């Protein structure tokens, strides 16, 4: 793997709005959105309040914390917490109340 591949950014698309932004592997999905001028709903930014919860339509994420504030059933149904999730691939998200 070369250094360019190590620092690959992933494309994140907000399905309803059709907006796209890029996330580097060291930023949470929420941090990447905010850095790109897109405000996703958020409050605690540590995975407990669930304000940012949205649906992962496609792609894969990993979590910065061992057990984010989601039940196993919620995870299996595609719900994620962008404040503590990092992109492992390109993502498509269904988010309500996103703003530019």
Query: What is the pTM assigned to this prediction?
Result: 0.89
pLDDT in the model for residue 7: 58
The CATH topology of domain 3-94 is Ubiquitin-like (UB roll) (3.10.20)
C-alpha–C-alpha distance, residues 89 and 46, integer Å: 22
Domain boundaries, the chain: 3-94
SS3 annotation, 69-87: CCCHHHHHCCEECCCCEEE
Statement: residue 11 has pLDDT above 80? yes
C-alpha–C-alpha distance, residues 3 and 60, integer Å: 22
SS3 annotation, 7-45: CCCEEEEECCCCEEEEECCCCCHHHHHHHCCCECCCCCC
Confidence of residue 1 (pLDDT cuts 50, 70, 90): very low
pLDDT in the model for residue 27: 96
Q: Rounded mean pLDDT of the chain?
A: 91
31-75 pLDDT, tens digit each: 999 999 999 999 999 999 999 999 999 999 999 998 888 999 999
């Amino acid at each position: 793997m070369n250094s360019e591949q190590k620092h690959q950014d992933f494309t994140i698309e907000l399905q309803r709005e059709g907006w796209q932004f890029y996330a580097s592997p060291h930023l949470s999905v929420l941090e990447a959105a905010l850095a790109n001028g897109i405000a996703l709903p958020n409050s605690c930014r540590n995975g407990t309040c669930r304000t940012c919860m949205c649906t992962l339509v496609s792609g894969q994420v990993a979590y910065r914390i061992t057990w984010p504030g989601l039940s196993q059933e919620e995870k299996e149904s595609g719900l994620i917490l962008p404040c503590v999730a990092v992109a492992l691939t390109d993502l498509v998200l269904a988010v309500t109340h996103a703003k530019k």
